[in-house]
Amino acid sequence: MKMGELFQTGDWKNEKHVPAIDCPDSVKADEPFEITVSIGKEIGHPNTTEHHIRWIRVYFKPEGDKFAYEVGSYDFTAHGECAEGANKGPVYTEPKVTTRLKVNKSGTLLATIYCNIHGLWENTAQIKVS
């Protein structure tokens, strides 16, 4: 088995674990732009002590390149846990990140997430450089 075979995918509008990638379709070369990756955009994810998103990773694979480049790695560590018990803590993380980047080639953004119950999920979005 290969690592890529462990990732699940789907339509984020119908499956709460698929990362939704909000980004422009087209950008200018070397000009910064924002992307937002979220989980549970249409169907809420519980984000409880028992069931939560641990991390989001974002990559960019330029057209024609062999390798993808890691854009960012975002960990979520507050899931309502505390000494009083599960879901009694004072803070819960919402799995959503916004970051700025710039690219000089068209390519593919890849977002991956890990749910402690339902494993690895991925999604992609195309970016054209003008």
Q: Residue 16 catalytic?
A: yes
| CA–CA dist 76, 79 (Å, integer) | 8
pLDDT attached to residue 79: 96
Q: Residue 118 catalytic?
A: yes
Burial label for 105, CB within 10 Å (0-12, 13-18, 19+), is: middle
Catalytic residue among 15, 23, 61, 105: 15
pLDDT attached to residue 12: 85
Q: Residue 81 catalytic?
A: no
Catalytic residue among 45, 52, 79, 96: 45
Q: Residue 42 catalytic?
A: no
pTM over 0.85: yes
Q: Residue 51 catalytic?
A: yes
Domain positions in the chain are 3-101+117-129
Query: Above 90 in pLDDT, residue 90?
Result: yes
CA torsion sign, 127 to 103 to 42 to 44? positive
What value does the mean pLDDT take over residues 6-21?
Answer: 90
What value does the mean pLDDT take over residues 102-110?
Answer: 98
User: Percentage of the chain with pLDDT > 70?
Assistant: 100
* Superfamily of the domain at 3-101+117-129: SOR catalytic domain (2.60.40.730)
What tens digit of pLDDT does each residue of 22-70 get?
Answer: 999 999 999 999 999 999 888 989 999 999 999 999 999 999 999 999 9
Catalytic residue among 28, 42, 50, 51: 51
Whole-number average pLDDT of the chain:
95
